[in-house]
A and B are shown apart, each in its own frame.
Chain A
Amino acid sequence: DAEITQSPRHKITETGRQVTLACHQTWNHNNMFWYRQDLGHGLRLIHYSYGVQDTNKGEVSDGYSVSRSNTEDLPLTLESAASSQTSVYFCASSARTGGYEQFFGPGTRLTVL
Chain B
Amino acid sequence: QQQVKQSPQSLIVQKGGIPIINCAYENTAFDYFPWYQQFPGKGPALLIAIRPDVSEKKEGRFTISFNKSAKQFSLHIMDSQPGDSATYFCAASITGFQKLVFGTGTRLLVSP
Contact = CB atoms under 8 A, between A and B. Distances in A.
Given A90-B43, A94-B98, A106-B42, A101 B104 contact: no
Interface in A46-104: 48, 50, 58, 90, 92, 94, 100-104
Interface in B9-63: 9, 32, 34, 41-46, 49
Contacts of A90: 43-44
Given A33-B99, A94-B98, A106-B43, A100 B104 contact: no
A73 to B, nearest CB: 17
B89 interface: yes
A105 B45 CA distance: 10
B110 to A, nearest CB: 21
**Size range of the chain A interface in the assembly:** 20 to 34
A94 B34 CA distance: 14
Contact of A102 (B41, B46, B105): B46
Q: Taking each of B9, B93, B99, which has the highest tally of chain A beta carbons within 10 Å of its own beta carbon?
A: B99
Contact of B102 (A44, A48, A94, A100): A44
B34 A43 contact: no
Given A41-B104, A42-B6, A50-B98, A100 B43 contact: no
A107 to B, nearest CB: 6
B98 A104 contact: no
Contact of B44 (A40, A43, A94): A43
B3 to A, nearest CB: 9
Contact of B99 (A41, A48, A106): A48
Interface of B: 6, 9, 32, 34, 41-46, 49, 89, 93, 98-105
7 contacts: A42-B105, A90-B44, A94-B98, A100-B98, A102-B100, A106-B42, A106-B43
